[in-house]
Amino acid sequence: MRLIDDHIFVEHRDTCTQINHSSVYSVRTEGGDLWPVLAFQKSGLIYACLPLVEETLEPRPPLLTVSGLSQGLALLLGIADYISPSQKNEADMSTKLGQLRHLLIQACPLGTPLNTNIRSLNSSFDDIQEMPTDENQPAWRSNTYKGKPQVNVCITEKVKCMQYDKRDVVDTWQVYGAVNCKCDIEGSAPNVTLSLNLPTNGPPLQDIVVHHCVTSVDPAMLMSSSAEPLDDSVYNGPYKFPFVPPSDSFNLCYYTSQVPVPPILGCYQLTEEGSQLKITVNLKLHESIKNSFEYCEARIPFFNRGPITRLEYKASYGQLDLLREKSLLVWVIGQKFPKSLEVSLTGSVSFGPAGKEHPTDYVCTGNTAYVKLYFRIPDFALTGCYVDQHSIQIFVPGKPKITASQELISSDYYIWNSKAPAPMVYKTLFD
């Protein structure tokens, strides 16, 4: 980053006695140390920026307290995602680098990243708006919509899960939600109010983070944290958000929630018998979950082994696909569980000699293995969180068209082999 002498070793700059475990650096200059410089290397390019630190630099504050670092990292990753696919084509690379300045003007109109998804921005000059002439129009509202008012709201919840089926290991799961909005409304600074509601006895929303366009928020909403145990005093709605919407689609807020049960309970057993592996997978859909999937499948990978040469199996439901060279079984359950809400798969697998082309993994050695679930349930939220369409207030003429939807998507949903060691988050202590 600050290479001056091509062939001269400079101790403080070039030494390898300390290995950096973060991407935050201090760069020496004639005027003193420049910190924090955020930088990383990817595919032969160095991506770097200097985030704003709004607190005193002496002593240096903890990295987690510098909000500009996460914003800068998100922006750099967005730039890398935009540039990386073109690095093999010099002409394409040159074109993208030429457009980058204009894209950054859209992404950071006032120096603060408003949209770090650089690939989603329009690279044409025509799309770059002049600064609004209406003094009431916020900077994030770059154009004015003309037409019938429309509001689209989608609640997307992702559930992460680690299941072990072991007495001394605690299963863990967590819901992460995002409320995406697209408001097509006339006016330079229209005011919208939207409320999220929970069913009776529904788990409260926690770790709430709101978009900067939200004009006010009840402080009690922001106090609930997943790091603290739940009690009766936790705020449980309604969650009211008054805001002036950006022109494009945006995430109004993010949240987490501690739901009482995971949507699909599972058990995976893998044992070695001679030259074969014996597998058993049992899955059960919880009765509170909507039994209507867009897709649902269980992937069973086998790492550090050769191609699958022999497979015998019995599935109580669905279809099993074999990807021999990838050493992978894909159990396609489909769009519904049976009436019993339970499915099972048993089988035996044999492998050929392992080659460099076959999948390896540092965690899944020996019989340490997992089943990973992939599913999406439309029109359903695990928390029960929903948008009351009648509570949406839009202070503009005309009756708005309002659409609201929900979806639940799996994310890192693992069921570990209960017959072997597995990476764990919590372990229970028994007397």
CA gap 348, 280 in Å, rounded:
9
Average pLDDT over residues 69-95: 84
16-to-1, 6, 12, 19, 53 alpha-carbon distances in Å:
16, 17, 9, 6, 28
pLDDT reported for residue 376: 96
Higher pLDDT, 129 or 347: 347
**Per-residue pLDDT, 391:** 81
The residue type of 278 is K
Is 195 among the domain residues? yes
Q: Is 388 helix (H, G, I), strand (E, B) or coil?
A: coil
- Report pLDDT for 147: 81
Q: What is the largest CA-CA distance in the chain?
A: 77
139-156 residues labelled b (16+ CB within 10 A) or e (exposed) = ebbbebbeeebebebbbb
Q: Do 257 and 268 share a domain, yes or no?
A: no
- Residue in the structure block whose two tokens are 């279809």: 319
What pLDDT is attached to residue 428?
47
268/367 Cα distance (integer angstroms):
12
Reported confidence tier of residue 348, pLDDT bands at 50, 70, 90: very high
Q: Are residues 240 and 283 in the same domain?
A: no
Domain that holds residue 162: 150-261+382-415
Same domain (yes/no): 387, 244: yes
Residues above pLDDT 90, as percent of the chain: 44
Instruction: Based on the fold, state whether residues 182 and 160 are members of the same structural domain.
Output: yes
Q: Is there a domain that residue 355 lies in?
A: yes
Confidence band of 431 (pLDDT split at 50, 70, 90): very low
The answer on 278 and 374 residing in a single domain is yes
CA distance 390 to 145: 23
Of residues 8 and 333, more confidently modeled: 333
Do 237 and 272 fall into the same domain? no
Q: What is the CATH number of the domain that holds 347?
A: 2.60.40.1170
Give the model confidence (pLDDT) of 97-115 as tens digits: 888 888 888 888 777 888 8
Same domain, 155 and 56: no
Q: β-strands 386-387, 308-315: how paired?
A: unpaired
Q: Are strands 169-170 and 192-197 parallel, antiparallel or unpaired?
A: unpaired
Strands 401-416 and 150-163: parallel
Residue 296 counted as domain residue: yes
- Asked if residue 19 is part of any domain, the answer here is no
Q: Is residue 338 part of a domain?
A: yes
Per-residue pLDDT tens digits for 269-327: 999 988 899 999 999 999 999 999 999 999 999 999 989 999 999 999 999 999 888 89
Q: Are 187 and 42 found together in one domain?
A: no
Token pair recorded at residue 258:
């501690």
pLDDT of residue 140: 65
Looking at the structure, do residues 100 and 117 belong to the same domain, yes or no? yes
Domains in the chain: how many in total? 3
* pLDDT confidence of residue 128: 45
Residues 373 and 386 in one domain: no
- The model's pLDDT over 122-151, given as tens digits with 9 standing for 90+, comes to 654 444 444 445 566 676 676 667 788 889
Please check whether residue 141 lies inside any domain of the structure: no
pLDDT digits (tens, 9 = 90+) for 220-231: 888 888 777 766
Q: Which of 82-86, 89-93, 240-244, 423-427 has the lowest mean pLDDT?
A: 423-427
Check pLDDT > 60 for residue 69: yes
Res. 331 pLDDT band, cuts 50 70 90 = very high
**Is residue 34 included in any domain, yes or no?**
yes
408: which strand partners?
A: 157, 377
Q: Are residues 269 and 257 in the same domain?
A: no
Residue 179 pLDDT more than 50? yes
Quick check: 191 and 185 in contact, CB under 8 A? no
DSSP labels, 396-431: SSSPPEEEEEEEEEEEEEEEEBTTS----SEE----
Which of the two residues, 270 and 88, has the higher pLDDT score? 270
Mean pLDDT of 342-350: 96
Residue 113 belongs to a domain: yes
Residue 394 to residue 241: CA distance in whole angstroms: 12
Q: Are residues 172 and 101 in the same domain?
A: no
Tell me if the pTM is above 0.85.
no
Residue 393 binned pLDDT confidence (cut-offs 50, 70, 90):
confident
Average pLDDT over residues 186-190: 81
Tokens at 64, concatenated: 């987690």
